[in-house]
Amino acid sequence: MTESTDVTSGQPAVSTGRLSLYLKKIASLFFTVSLTLLGLLLVTFLIGRVMPIDPVLAVVGKRASNEVYEAARLSMGLDKPLYHQFFVYITQVFQGDFGKSLLTSNPVIDDIARVFPATLELATVATLIGVLVGVPMGVYAAASQGSWFDQFVRVFGLFGYSMPVFWIGLIGLLIFYGMLGWVGGPGRLDIFYEDMIPTITGMILIDSLIAGDMTIFWNAVSHIILPSLILGYYSLAYISRMTRSFMLEELASEYVITARVKGMSEQAVLWRHAFRNVLIPLITVIALSYATLLEGSVLTETIFAWPGLGQYITTSLLSADMNAVLGGTVVVGILFVGLNLLSDFLYKIVDPRARQS
């Protein structure tokens, strides 16, 4: 590859070959993301058409006359061929129009913007618990393979996968809220504190800190701690298990054996060498765990009356509000795509070798 030279300064100019490579990467990324989103929209569109729910009846009601039914069907464009309906659908989605919710009579995009911060807040706290506790547990379990601590981590993680979320949630509410009174009850705040601080981000923990109201902040903490611990336990089980698996593979590598022979401390071997190579696959694990929680932990949000995206989609589905269901599904898909792109970006920061690919 040759570089052109700036005649006036005598310094190498940007290589046209390198610029061409960057443009190809950007074009490839744009094509991949566009194709993924198009596939997502196609799947959600087809789901809306094969569901045993008549969208016209959901609008006009079961007692509507044939004339009213047919007029509504024509106004909704359901008389058009499927390819035409799909084109109209993707055009509306790219304009941010998911239609109106039958339950709230609000645009679906406004409803999602209202409920999503609650899920974002809960999922973020749960993921932080999973990462801050699960990663060290997985690292030290691998370092002490076969020990009592390793066995404890494996059993602890197994319980996280096996125990039904709704059962843990109900027992947690019964013991820590009903019997001991250590945590707040269902909802994000006590009723007395609702609407007492201005909504800026929609996340009460942050909004209360911005407003400087520590009373509401600690009340919000008392409400979020139990559901976030339950979701964090599930996230912790997955992250610790995968971290242990990745670390076991790295600790058996020759470079680790060589570092130990040279007298390097065990902590340096674990964190400075082995863990750095584990970070690449671990980023994907954490991103997928976070995306799963952002998808809306339906059972947890239902048990704790947490007004988030999962509860919104579930309530809409039970009410045959397909505009809301499909809109929420598209948002969830976009979240997964976005977090995958974020993972790719973090790869290049963590591992310089990935920048050359």
Q: What is the pLDDT along the chain (357 residues), one digit of tens a residue?
A: 444 455 455 445 446 767 777 677 777 777 777 788 888 888 888 877 776 666 777 666 677 777 777 787 787 777 778 788 888 888 888 888 888 887 788 888 999 999 999 999 999 999 999 999 999 999 999 988 889 998 999 988 888 877 777 788 888 888 998 888 888 888 888 888 888 888 888 899 999 999 888 999 999 999 999 999 988 888 898 899 999 999 998 888 888 888 888 878 888 888 888 888 888 888 888 988 888 888 757 778 888 888 888 888 888 887 777 788 888 888 888 888 888 788 777 777 766 555 555
pTM for this predicted structure: 0.81
Structure tokens at 72: 């509504």
Per the listing, tokens 């598209």 go with 330
What's residue 354's pLDDT? 56
Output the DSSP codes for 190-249: -GGGTT-S--SSS-HHHHHHHHT-HHHHHHHHHHHHHHHHHHHHHHHHHHHHHHHHHHHH
Query: What angle separates helix 16-50 from helix 82-94, to the nearest 10 degrees?
Result: 120
**Residue keyed to tokens 């706290």:** 125
What pLDDT is attached to residue 24? 76
pLDDT score for 137: 93
Using alpha carbons, select from 172, 177, 142, 173 the residue that is nearest to residue 157. 142
pLDDT at 2: 46
**Burial zone of 322 (CB within 10 Å; 0-12 exposed, 13-18 middle, 19+ buried):** buried
Burial of 131 (0-12, 13-18, 19+ CB in 10 A): buried
Amino acid 104: pLDDT: 82
Q: What is the pLDDT of residue 274?
A: 83
Please tell me the distance from the alpha carbon of residue 324 to that of residue 24, in angstroms, as a whole number: 37
> Three-class SS string for 99-148?
CECCCCCCEHHHHHHHHHHHHHHHHHHHHHHHHHHHHHHHHHHHHCCCCH
Nearest CA to 243 out of 127, 129, 131 is that of: 131
Q: What domains are defined for the chain?
A: 16-94 (no CATH), 108-356 (1.10.3720.10)
Phi, psi of 78, rounded to the nearest 5 degrees: -80, -5
Q: What is the pLDDT of residue 340?
A: 79
CA distance 3 to 1: 7
